[in-house]
Amino acid sequence: MLSTYLTRDWGLKVPIIGAPMTPMSGGSLAAALSNCGALGMLGVSSTQPVEQLERDVDDYRRLAGAHPFGIGLMVWALDARPELLDAAIRAKPFVIAMSFGDPAKYMPRMRDAGIRVASQVQDRQSARAAEAAGVDLIVAQGTEAGGHTGGVGTLPLLQIVLETVRLPVVAAGGIASGRGLAAVLAAGAAGAWIGTPLLVAEEARNSPVARRKVIEALETDTVHTRVFDVVQRIPWSPRFPGRALVNAFTQRWAGHEDELARDDEARRVFQHAKQAEDYSNALIYAGQSVGLIHRIEPAASIVDRIAADAESALRAATAVVPLAPSGPLS
Ligand SMILES: Cc1cc2nc3c(=O)[nH]c(=O)nc-3n(C[C@H](O)[C@H](O)[C@H](O)COP(=O)(O)O)c2cc1C
């Protein structure tokens, strides 16, 4: 059994939080995670209708009843779409994750509703801002992560965030095995926030073709790029490119984003590829831990394996610190 802030204070059985991933983490994936003792999160994109979140919440409750769950929002999207925060608060989640921006001005509403708040951060400054805003949990999201992320690796970032804040910290980015979870727990994290390994979970809202691509991809097959935001005209800050599987589209347009923004034909090619599931041009957001993903399985199997292997790894790690020889009895 692993014991951290997440098990003691949040009531989880394992210190694992399923990352909010749009559109993959809907009600089924979140429910599968919460039902096996992790925490399931519903992902909310900047463009999705409120009704989609409401449907995901309904699905979740049908499958997981009153088990706690979380909702992940993108701070930068809320000024233009305050209705997403309204809907998230109405859903009464255990926690809302406010990522990719300073959550300060939204804190009072979540606090008044009795909802805990987590925040994904990508550098020391954003960790400080999240702590000053009064969040409960900081998620140190390294550049290895799938989807939008900053430029600092999980290991240096985790050390930086741990020495900066007094709050519990969870690590995200590249954790897909018991070794990874054991490493961040040993470093002082309260758990792991896992996305990429769940892209192939049976309950994820993902297609068979995309799952196959994730399984086939190597750890060297990802790229940190703005091209998919530029071609879709989604106003993400350049601070947060997205980590995706490399393909012909990223190879053609990475480094030529200004040109891409004006190219209507490239936009047509992309849209067509997306509809046709032609992943030579369509996007699959995924992190470097794709190199550790080998098969489709239920989310509970993924969580159980990571937690059990982490426990074994941590027990084995005690051999690194031999007991001091006991001195002579006096
Ligand atoms: C397909 C995909 C979609 C994602 N969508 C979101 C999102 O909507 N909101 C969010 O806060 N993070 C999102 N993320 C980032 C995750 O929250 C998390 O930081 C990341 O998956 C952790 O690293 P890992 O992918 O190496 O496990 C997404 C990640 C992936 C792979």
Centre of ligand 1 to C-alpha 44, Å, is 11
Grade residue 322 by pLDDT with cuts at 50, 70 and 90.
confident
Domain at 5-204+295-317: CATH code:
3.20.20.70
Nearest CA to ligand 1 atom 4: 21
Q: Which pair of tokens denotes residue 26?
A: 């809907």
Centre of ligand 1 to C-alpha 265, Å, is 29
Distance CA 115, CA 89 (A): 8
Phi/psi of residue 73, nearest 5 degrees: -115, 155
Residue-wise pLDDT for 128-156, tens only, equals: 999 999 999 999 999 999 999 999 999 99
Grade residue 267 by pLDDT with cuts at 50, 70 and 90.
very high
Ligand 1 atom at minimum distance from 144 CA = 26
Centre of ligand 1 to C-alpha 245, Å, is 14
Cβ < 6 A, ligand 1 pocket? 19-22, 24, 43, 45, 72, 74, 97, 99, 120, 141, 144-147, 172-174, 193-196, 285-287, 289
Distance CA 277, CA 210 (A): 8
Calculate what percentage of the chain has a pLDDT beyond 90: 97
Centre of ligand 1 to C-alpha 124, Å, is 20
Q: What's the mean per-residue pLDDT of the chain?
A: 97
Q: Are strands 242-245 and 147-148 parallel, antiparallel or unpaired?
A: antiparallel
Centre of ligand 1 to C-alpha 233, Å, is 19
Nearest CA to ligand 1 atom 21: 195
Is the pTM for the entire model greater than 0.75? yes
Phi/psi of residue 215, nearest 5 degrees: -65, -40
Average pLDDT of the segment spanning 178-185: 98
Distance CA 15, CA 197 (A): 16
Q: Decide: 308 and 16 in contact? Cβ < 8 Å.
A: no
Q: Decide: 176 and 197 in contact? Cβ < 8 Å.
A: yes
Q: Where in the chain is the domain with CATH 3.20.20.70?
A: 5-204+295-317
Nearest CA to ligand 1 atom 7: 21
Average pLDDT of the segment spanning 288-301: 98
